[in-house]
Amino acid sequence: MVFLKRNYGWIIVTILAVLPLIILSKMIHIDWANDLSMSLVESTGKGDRTTLDMLYHISGEFAIRWLTAVLTCTPFFILFGVTNLFVRQAMGIAAAVWSILHFVIFIAMEGFLETFTEVNYVAGFIAVLILIPLLFTSNRKSMKRLKSKWKKLQKYAYVAIILSLVHVALLEKTWTIYAVVVGVGFIIRIPAVKERIIGFRLKRKK
């Protein structure tokens, strides 16, 4: 019970991040009897989309959603005074895993060299490269070892989300809502705005 009480937020984020994998698992057939071979289940895509294209689309959607969620943690704290560092870490791990999965599927579809043929692909690739070290340092051991450098390293998540928005925008996907959420979050972070919000919140508590 103590473990659940201390880590309930982390557990909830993990469940939310893993649940969509159930949808993806229905698109993949694993043959355990034949040396653990894997193949795609055809006719699971919507409309003219292939199964691989659907996997690519779904993984990309969840990657940008989790990246946006990570950057809303600080504004959420400023607005409501509620924070949980380890929940934010769990969100960061989810964002990184989904982003890497998205990139792996892209390589399966187009090949690695295709990454460098368009600006939006390059932006997405750089975002993934940034997220990899953030993924491997999103734990308490790394926090203790890196100390003040850990926070500086994690700030590169801002660069990753901006590059991801560029990636999505150039693909002409539905990106406006993510840009608005991230934009509002940056405005709330402005020192003058932040101080006014916190001051107003503290006055209401009195």
Inter-residue contact 132 to 76 (CB < 8 Å): no
Burial of 172 (0-12, 13-18, 19+ CB in 10 A): exposed
Q: How many domains does the chain have?
A: 1
Owning domain of residue 136: 2-205
Residues 6+ apart with CB under 8 A from 55: 24, 27, 40, 105
Higher pLDDT, 174 or 133: 133
- Residue keyed to tokens 């972070």: 189
- Percent over 90 (pLDDT), the chain: 14
Which pTM does this prediction carry? Answer: 0.82
Burial of 144 (0-12, 13-18, 19+ CB in 10 A): exposed
The pLDDT value recorded for residue 96 is: 92
Tell me how far CA of residue 108 lies from CA of 20, 78, 122, in angstroms: 20, 42, 16
Q: Mean pLDDT across the chain, nearest whole number?
A: 81
The pLDDT value recorded for residue 84 is: 66
Q: Tell me the pLDDT tens digit for each residue of 164-196.
A: 888 888 876 667 888 888 888 888 888 888 888
Provide the strand spans (E) within the chain: 28-31, 37-40
Q: Tell me the pLDDT tens digit for each residue of 80-131.
A: 877 666 788 888 889 999 999 999 989 988 889 999 999 989 999 999 999 9
What is the pLDDT confidence band of residue 73, given thresholds at 50, 70 and 90?
Answer: confident
Question: Per this entry, what is the length of the chain?
Answer: 206
Inter-residue contact 114 to 124 (CB < 8 Å): no
